[in-house]
Homo-oligomer: A and B are copies of this chain.
């Protein structure tokens, strides 16, 4: 078994000198998976009709079965493949038969800042809820969350909102949020909302590959997770799980010839979603190859344990170097494989900080670290990976310090 850390960097196609501490935004994947994707593409172009009509759907089922086993989903037919988390969220929210005035609970994570009109969970999901509120006249119930918070405080806030807003139909919340990159008490939240007759839609965009999942035990109504972020599959690739009891509410964003109304005897969630249409299947097909690679280097538990420990240690290192602190609660339940560290900036406007850091970190420090505001402060989110170690966090800390200094000097 190879050792985790920089020695594994050779397995990934990242360029020399790059400090890769941002798996969370776009993911990356090993050379062996890339090679498999190329082979599927070549197989397709030999005879596109044979591949698209016959071979690809069969290969897709192999990926679907293996993924279902990984996430504890007893029936692979309950899993659909969609391009990314944004599209998967739109799939549910734009086909669910909302009636005028239906209420949807969403979790607001941070103060509204100039780049976000409406900040509940991931910005694209928020914006989709906003679109649906315009298109279908639904009402959004926001839960305001000021991190750091204990899991119990998050649950209490949601319970309060549910009490104050009778008739909520669906709740949309994260498994691991994006900014800040923190674990959410999604299992307890699922039980809380379902106990109140509310459908639970979990945005697990960052979940699969970062934390263990057992969908049968969690029993959400809807669950999505990108495979391209933490599972080492090429972009764009997301899976959407829909509980059988809710499959009648969901149709693909690209309605196809299998479409039937839910009350039609031939309605089939599986058939509607098995037909991906004219797309490049290679990303979906490499799920099994990504899982084989993960098994070859030690398996899910080993990967997740290494990344979590590195995030905790690396975050502490960066905070100490910057003279700030990690975003955590007393129970230390917020950090999975992403860690959020406060930046030593005073009175920094997010609308200026964000583009400056993106440009400077990429072009002057050969890295990328997302930065974002929480409660008047600016935080940076760093991702741990099997091909990084504390040396990368030291380099990232140095890049952040220099960029903070340059930003303060400029202003």
A/B interface sample: 8 pairs, CB < 8 A: A12-B45, A41-B234, A53-B358, A53-B362, A83-B278, A124-B255, A131-B259, A236-B280
Interface string of A8-42 (1 = CB under 8 A from B): 00001111001000100111110000100010011
Decide yes or no whether A54 CB sits under 8 A from chain B. yes
Point out the residues of chain B lying under 8 angstroms from A299, CB to CB. none
Task: Say yes or no: B131 contacts A13, CB within 8 Å.
Answer: no
Give CA–CA (A26, B49) in the complex, Å: 7
| Pick from B15, B26, B277: contact of A86, CB under 8 Å | B277
Task: Say yes or no: B256 contacts A127, CB within 8 Å.
Answer: yes
Task: Say yes or no: A362 contacts B50, CB within 8 Å.
Answer: yes
Residue in A12, A13, A27, A45 whose Cβ sees the most chain B Cβ within 10 Å: A45
Number of interface residues of A (CB under 8 A): 64
Task: Say yes or no: B50 contacts A26, CB within 8 Å.
Answer: no
Given contacts A97-B135, A253-B253, A362-B54, contact A259 B226 (CB under 8 A): no
| Pick from B12, B26, B47: contact of A15, CB under 8 Å | B47
Residues of A within 8 A of B (CB): 12-15, 18, 22, 25-29, 34, 38, 41-42, 45-50, 52-54, 83-87, 90, 94-95, 97, 115-116, 123-124, 127-128, 130-131, 134-135, 226, 228, 234-236, 251, 253-257, 259, 261, 277-280, 283, 358, 362, 368
Point out the residues of chain B lying under 8 angstroms from A34, CB to CB. 41, 45
Task: Say yes or no: A257 contacts B115, CB within 8 Å.
Answer: yes
Residue in A15, A135, A368 whose Cβ sees the most chain B Cβ within 10 Å: A135
Given contacts A95-B135, A253-B253, A254-B124, contact A26 B52 (CB under 8 A): yes
Task: Say yes or no: A257 contacts B26, CB within 8 Å.
Answer: no
Give CA–CA (A253, B48) in the complex, Å: 26
Point out the residues of chain B lying under 8 angstroms from A256, CB to CB. 86, 123-124, 127
Give CA–CA (A215, B62) in the complex, Å: 44
Give CA–CA (A52, B254) in the complex, Å: 24
Given contacts A86-B256, A253-B87, contact A277 B45 (CB under 8 A): no
Give CA–CA (A259, B22) in the complex, Å: 25
Point out the residues of chain B lying under 8 angstroms from A277, CB to CB. 83-84, 86-87, 124, 236
Taking the closest CB of chain B, its distance from the CB of A338, in whole angstroms, is 15
